[in-house]
Chains A and B, each alone.
Chain A
């Protein structure tokens, strides 16, 4: 147990309004090892951000509610902590980087003051000189000239702003960094710079990370473990090798790979997943992916599939449910999505 930093078990979260109940997260479990990076992949509305917000207990108070499950951070049950204990944890031991750097900074404070604020909130006794030193250190760590600490967010470009946000998150040297689509708002060349920086800092500081993204390319680049999320459930999880090697996969994972325009392929047509995400206020009774699945059978529509585990690789699909784990040879699932790569 000593090697895990975060363990989520059977977490369910709903958003409840007078009119309807949105089942955002439905019984997900995941474990992040110390110093490891876990990639949570999925499309809009899959429940990725809700999961992240639950860890920090930042769900909108009026509607968001954790229905069940547990979140253990370094052996402590996050869900039962008092608000003041939570404040001590938030930002200090678990930090978060939000998707949009344009809206996560205060426009009327210099970036230096914003980083200093993060430091002072968690250590009021820190001396002025010490704060200045730490601010400058953090800025140069993310590749910004320390002399720019007196500038305001609007004087920075998008990529530079995201660096400031990352600097703020890392200022208190958190043990777990949650990055919610940190590069989605950036251009590719700037994305590459920021990703390299994140990778380098993580290796240097030994920070564990929860990386939320929709981009499988980013996952391949920096994650150790992966969870593929769909309609509030993790339909497939495992190490990057499990997910990216040919073999057995959840039909949704295959669909995701098929949807990515491949740079090397000469195929003109993409193989998208038909249909749309189910309405989270009225999820299907059986497998959540059944209405869009090409391999859907009768029982998929009525029975929720149980997860099959093979080593670190876990798939929740009826296709693989019948056989004993490990003995299922010859199931061609996954081959479609990977055929192109094998041809090279």
Chain B
């Protein structure tokens, strides 16, 4: 998996929003992330942690405040709109709400063909529409829906339109922004399987943004856990679930109700309090106020990500101390 140039790399990516009175909302606060070709990286966190803003900043759908986004080693922040437009073909997004992200006045086939027409992918309209019909087959939409309008279809089918549209430009990298959270469980499973199959078939690289840990576990090879604009932990999917290191990740895992009667009488280990405000944040660990292991060191300076174990990064003083103690011994 570890090739030399990542497909996407962010360096100290930041997005701050002005919120009046000179205050700043730190939505994404210095994220360093490398995404390699062919992998699926999951980004998990609760609402307001900046995961969607991160996804959109990488695609420059939201202009980052500072930092770099490298695509194939080239910094795309600051590129002109013409150059960016050429890149848009390769960088696509699937949105959360299939009800809101599709033009209600276009038929299914028109929605799917639209991007290809804009980018003049094919010589003629006939060819474009033939390709759109192929895409419908690819995502499992019966061709009889070609002339239906989005409101006539259910959520699962509408999300398939969104996927077909994203694939129409032969992208290499797709940000999936909560693509299944508006869907019922049985439909959710269909769409997840579809995304995984397409990923393998077309050799796609995904960034999968979601609040649902069990979904991300299924689809991702690596997972990044975000809390208030910061990456608190980054590890291989299996490793993260087997050995979570950060107290927040542990709490997140413990909070999932499992459909298992053996766990019935085990109480949730709930973390107290709620996510604090992302406006004018104080230095130090963002999770300190809710953390049972909070020490003085946690609130003094920002906690850097360290490699606690091979390929397992965590931003927590607990593990920094453990590592330093280890170093002294050796």
A244, B261: Cβ atoms under 8 Å?
yes
Taking residues whose C-beta sits less than 8 angstroms from the other chain, chain B's interface range is 35 or more
Closest residue of chain A to B274 (Cβ to Cβ) is A157
Docked Cα-Cα span, A216 to B271, in Å, equals 22
Cα of A256 to Cα of B184 in the assembled complex, Å: 10
Assess the B154–A220 pair: CB atoms within 8 A.
Answer: no
Q: Is the CB of A272 within 8 A of B257?
A: no
The answer to whether B211 and A217 touch across the interface, beta carbons within 8 angstroms, is: no
In the complex, whether B119 has a CB less than 8 A from a CB of chain A is no
- List B contacts of A216 (CB < 8 A): 259
> B193 near A: Cβ within 8 Å?
yes
Query: A325 — which chain B residues lie within 8 A by C-beta?
Result: none
Q: Is the CB of B259 within 8 A of A257?
A: yes
CA distance A259 to B192 in the complex (A): 10
A270 within 8 A of B: yes
A188 and B186 contacting across the interface, CB-CB below 8 Å: no
Would you call B301 an interface residue if the criterion is a C-beta within 8 Å of the partner chain's C-beta atoms? no
Contact A192 B255 (CB under 8 A): yes
> Is the CB–CB distance between B258 and A217 below 8 Å?
yes
Contacts of A159 in B (CB 8 A): 274
Question: Which of B19-27, B96-104, B212-220 forms part of the interface with chain A?
Answer: B212-220
Whole-angstrom CA separation of A260 from B215 in the bound complex: 9
Inter-subunit contact A244/B259 (CB<8 Å): yes
Q: Is the CB of B256 within 8 A of A217?
A: yes
Tell me whether B185 and A43 are in contact (CB under 8 A).
Answer: yes
Nearest Cβ on chain A to B123's Cβ, whole angstroms: 37
Are B264 and A268 in touch, CB under 8 angstroms?
A: no
Give, as a whole number of angstroms, the nearest-CB distance from B111 to chain A: 20
- By secondary structure, the A interface counts as helix
Are the CB atoms of A43 and B260 closer together than 8 Å?
no
For this complex, into which size category does the number of interface residues on chain A fall?
35 or more
Please give, as numbers and ranges, the residues of chain A lying within 8 Å of B184 by CB-CB distance: 43-44, 214
Please indicate the chain B residues that have their CB under 8 angstroms from the CB of A192 in the complex.
254-255, 257, 268, 270
Chain A residue with Cβ nearest B271: A189
> Which residues from A are CB-within-8-Å of B264?
220-221, 240
Q: Is A108 an interface residue when CB atoms closer than 8 A count as contact?
A: no
- Contact between B257 and A220, CB atoms less than 8 A apart: yes
| B156 within 8 Å of A (CB atoms) | yes
Say whether B292 faces chain A, with CB atoms less than 8 Å apart. Answer: no
| Min CB–CB distance B248 → chain A (angstroms) | 9
Query: Given A157-B274, A195-B268, A263-B258, is A268 in contact with B218 using a C-beta cutoff of 8 Å?
Result: yes
In A243-282, which residues have CB < 8 Å from any B CB? 244-245, 255-263, 266, 268-274, 276-277
Cβ B47 vs Cβ A188 within 8 A: no
Q: Tell me the smallest distance from the CB of B199 to a CB of chain A, in Å.
A: 11
Known: A189-B46, A196-B267. A261 touches B214 (CB 8 A): yes
Q: Judge whether A86 is part of the interface by a CB distance below 8 angstroms.
A: no
The residue of chain A having its C-beta at the shortest distance from the C-beta of B266 within the complex is A221
Q: Does A79 contact B (CB under 8 A)?
A: no
Contact among B218, B252, B268 for A270, CB-based, below 8 A: B218
A123 interface residue (CB < 8 Å to B): no
Q: How far is the CB of B19 from chain A (nearest CB, A)?
A: 15
Find residues 289-344 in chain A having any chain B CB closer than 8 Å to their own CB. 341
Interface string of A179-200 (1 = CB under 8 A from B): 0000000011111110110000
Is the beta-carbon distance between B215 and A261 smaller than 8 angstroms? yes
Q: Does B241 touch A at the CB level, under 8 Å?
A: yes
Interface-centre pick from B186, B189, B251, B270 (highest chain A CB count, 10 A) = B186
> Does B252 contact A260, Cβ atoms closer than 8 Å?
no
Known: A189-B251, A261-B217, A263-B258. A276 touches B274 (CB 8 A): no
The one of B185, B218, B241, B261 that contacts A256, using a Cβ cutoff of 8 Å = B185
Given A158-B47, A263-B258, A274-B190, 8 other A-B residues pairs in contact with their CB atoms under 8 A: A188-B46, A189-B252, A244-B260, A260-B259, A261-B192, A268-B218, A272-B187, A273-B189
Question: What residues make up the interface of B, taking CB atoms closer than 8 Å to A?
Answer: 46-47, 154, 156-157, 184-190, 192-193, 196, 211-215, 217-218, 238, 241, 251-261, 263-264, 267-268, 270-271, 274
A–B Cβ pairs within 8 angstroms, 29 of them? A43-B186, A44-B184, A158-B47, A160-B274, A188-B252, A189-B270, A189-B271, A190-B46, A215-B257, A216-B259, A218-B257, A219-B259, A220-B258, A220-B263, A221-B263, A221-B264, A240-B264, A241-B261, A245-B261, A260-B189, A261-B192, A261-B212, A262-B214, A263-B213, A270-B189, A270-B218, A272-B188, A272-B190, A341-B260
Interface pairs A-B: 10 shortest CB-CB: A217-B257, A272-B189, A192-B255, A216-B259, A270-B189, A259-B189, A43-B184, A187-B46, A261-B214, A192-B268
